[in-house]
Amino acid sequence: MRSRYSAFVLNHGDYLLASWHPDTRPASLNLDDGGQWLALEVLESDESGESGRVHFRATCKEGNGFAVLEERSRFVREYDRWFYLDGEHTVTPLKPGRNDLCPCGSGRKFKKCCA
């Protein structure tokens, strides 16, 4: 899961397609319209035999705002390698408070940074 997030951050579409199970893999990926990925938080994960699940939250910056992608992903292991099958996701805007730390990772308060 973390390697797929890193591939999204670095725009490595070839890796994303190679780590996607052939039964559900799209013919191509367009990574140009994504935002700037800032953080990944794995909320829970489990595996049972040859199948696994990951629940994660990823924060990104889009234009002047921030958004959170939350997904429950399914993976399958074949030939000692994990492949992404599919996932159910939601995308919601992130509205930090004035005195919250800025989601951009600067360590400064939102009101003194990206607000």
Tally of domains in the chain: 1
* CATH code at position 23: 3.10.450.50
What are the tens digits of pLDDT across the range 42-63? 999 999 999 999 999 999 988 8
| Band of residue 85 on the pLDDT scale cut at 50, 70, 90 | very high
Q: Which domain holds residue 24?
A: 2-112
Angstrom distance (rounded) from CA 45 to CA 43: 7
Q: How far is CA 51 from the centre of its chain?
A: 20
Q: Distance between CA 97 and CA 84 in Å, rounded? A: 35
The model carries a pTM of 0.86
**What integer pLDDT is reported at residue 73 of this predicted model?**
97
Q: Is the pLDDT assigned to residue 34 strictly greater than 80?
A: no
What is the residue-averaged pLDDT of the chain? 91
